[in-house]
Amino acid sequence: MIDYGIEESLLALEELVKINLSITREKNLNLLLDKILTAARKLTAAEAGCIYILDRTKRYLHPEVAQGEYLHNSVVPLQKIDLKPDRRPNMEEVAAYAALSGQIVNISDAYSYSGFNFDDIYHRDRLSGIRTRSLMVVPLTDYEGVSLGVMQLFNRRVSDAGDVEPFPDKLEGFVKAFAVQAVVVAENNRLLAENRNLIVQLDETNQVLQIENEELRSRMSGKLKVDEIIGQSAAMQQVFNLIEKIADSTATALIQGETGTGKELIAACIHRNGPHRDGPFIPQNCAALPEELLESELFGYRKGAFSGATQHKKGLIEAAEGGTLFLDEIGDMPLKLQAKLLRVLQEREVRPLGALESIPVNIRILAATHQDLPKLISEGGFREDLFYRLNVFPIELPALRERREDIPALAHYFIVQFSGQYNKAISGIKPQVLDLIQSLPLPGNIRELRNIIERAVLLAEQDGVIEPQHLPGYESTDIPVTPLEQELEGSASLKDIMGRLEARVIARHLQRHKGNQTRTADALGVSRRSLVEKLGRYNLRENSCELN
């Protein structure tokens, strides 16, 4: 044990450095707290001690470690301490007082001091037969005053045979400095542990999602291969059921859904699972080309069919032989081409521009649209007969907002995809980011979600996780607190805060106007009577001269 005479300060400092080194190496938070307490007891020659840690709500101090015969094995276990019983600061309980005020409390004899309620200590002493005399209560705060908890040290006894002594005042600064160091180490430790937990949690979530997905796929894919299509929602399950029913046939299907809901993906899935799977899958967007060009793209032409036709060109219908032609945005197909397409569907043959003969084709035709085709029919923009031909098997794809439960799995899927593409090792996404995404309107559906995740992966740390600031247009909802607000917010109510602010402003103006009430009232835009009333209320009268 160390006694702090002036000449022994150097020795004590050396001891402090040793202790600091040993606690810096400790990774387990509880063991670390235990080491901190051992060290503090050594520094102060305290017979016993304990550490309380503040919980996340900042409301309760929880006993974490206790040392010394009558605390450690006590028949009365240490209880958690409420910092604000009945919403009022608990200034009676010494540990609560130290935590709330940030002050060290140093008491030479608990039995002759009446400033705090020591009933618990007296009760424990009665049961243990040990008398608590001196105690030092140290708030565990870091350099910025952020509180971790409180350390209590009991009964300074410099030698085993000696009496209990008060803790010397000059020890306070020393213990406080030690506490700050210890808190920083503990806080870093806690953050590290939290980070590790978070990563483990993310890994677990990923694994769960992966397992769920695999299970789902194996259930679905008794026959159906739905790789690359994420969708555990009931709405998507229905879609998979439908696909399974038609996949075996060569039936035409009309896939309807908003932009970005995955129409092309579903079409490719039908193709992959159908009898034409070994043939080509050829997609063509009917809205992407003007009429003539679309016609020659789809139907092809013979040499000399028109002025620029210098050689034969096979159309996509012919090129899709033995496979699937996917006509996206079919609602935008011009009426003339609709008539020609109907013929292909009915006759199963195609006649290129300028050809005399038709060519038989064995293809599957799938079509998709985001438009309301019956409405288009009623407006004369779409052929009814073609609609019925295509609509043999309608598949309605739900918007992403109708199946938000799929968002986490989709997000993870895209994270993996883009992490690979951009050579990053992103390990997951924070739950609150998923919450944020799930609350977005997402009119662009899965394509929009995919873009959001691609951007987030690019912005995230090389081996980090996706955080809120990686989302587009993210603004922190934490409004920064000014130092003045911080200071004033110690007051209990808004009225109290406003009062203190008003008093400060008036005092400052009074000072500026050398106590002259009339000029101060003018400057503040209030009547002199009102100013006088406020001066009384805030006890500022002596700062002003009434006769001016």
Ligand X SMILES: Nc1ncnc2c1ncn2[C@@H]1O[C@H](COP(=O)(O)OP(=O)(O)OP(=O)(O)O)[C@@H](O)[C@H]1O
Give me the 29-58 binding string for ligand X, x by CB under 6 A, dash otherwise: ------------------------------
447 near ligand X, judged by CB under 6 A: yes
Which of these ranges, 133-141, 253-261, 294-302, 354-362, lies near ligand X under the rule CB under 6 A?
253-261
Q: Does 522 bind ligand X (CB under 6 A)?
A: no
DSSP states of 525-537 as a string?
TS-HHHHHHHHHH
Residue 229 binding ligand X, by CB under 6 A = yes
Enter the tokens of residue 216.
């789902």
Which 328-357 positions form the footprint of ligand X (CB under 6 A)?
Answer: 328
Dist. CA 387–CA 331, nearest whole Å: 10
Is residue 231 a contact point for ligand X (CB under 6 A)? yes
CB 134 within 8 A of CB 164: yes
261 sits near ligand X (criterion: CB under 6 A): yes
Q: What CA–CA distance (Å, rounded) separates 300 from 357?
A: 13
Interface positions, 448-507, toward ligand X (CB under 6 A):
450
For 351, phi then psi, to 5°, come to -120, 110
Report the alpha-carbon angle 36-39-43, nearest 5.
Answer: 135
d(C-alpha 233, C-alpha 365), whole Å: 28
The window from 21-29, 229-237, 423-431, 460-468 that contacts ligand X (CB under 6 A) reads 229-237
Point out which span in 170-178, 192-200, 443-451, 485-493 binds ligand X (CB under 6 A): 443-451
CA-to-CA distance for 50 and 149, rounded, in angstroms?
A: 11
On whether the CB atoms of residues 219 and 242 are closer than 8 A, the answer is no
Residue 257 engages ligand X in binding (rule: CB under 6 A): yes
Distances (CA, A) of 47 to 67, 153, 388, 509: 8, 8, 91, 55
Residue 262 near residue 403, CB atoms below 8 Å: no
Which range in 223-231, 357-365, 487-495, 501-509 contacts ligand X by CB under 6 A? 223-231
Q: How far is the CB of 274 from ligand X (least distance, A)?
A: 17
For the CB of residue 188, give the shortest distance to ligand X in the complex, in Å. Answer: 40
Question: Binding-site residue total for ligand X (CB under 6 A)?
Answer: 19
Across-strand partners of 526? Answer: none
Contact flag: residue 408 with ligand X (CB under 6 A): no
* Smallest distance, ligand X to C-beta of residue 452, A: 12
Residue nearest to ligand X (CB): 262
162: closest CA among 134, 123, 195, 181?
Answer: 134
CB of 220 vs ligand X, minimal distance in Å: 13
No. of helices (H) and no. of strands (E), the chain: 20, 17
Nearer to ligand X, 139 or 428 (CB): 428
Residue 264 interacts with ligand X (CB under 6 A)?
Answer: yes
Give the chain's length. 548
> Can residue 370 be called a binding residue for ligand X (CB under 6 A)?
yes
Closer CB to ligand X, 83 or 366, in the complex: 366
* Site for ligand X contains 230 (CB under 6 A): yes
> CB within 8 A of 405, min separation 6: which ones?
232, 233
What is the binding site for ligand X (CB under 6 A)? 228-231, 257, 259-265, 328, 370, 410, 413, 446-447, 450
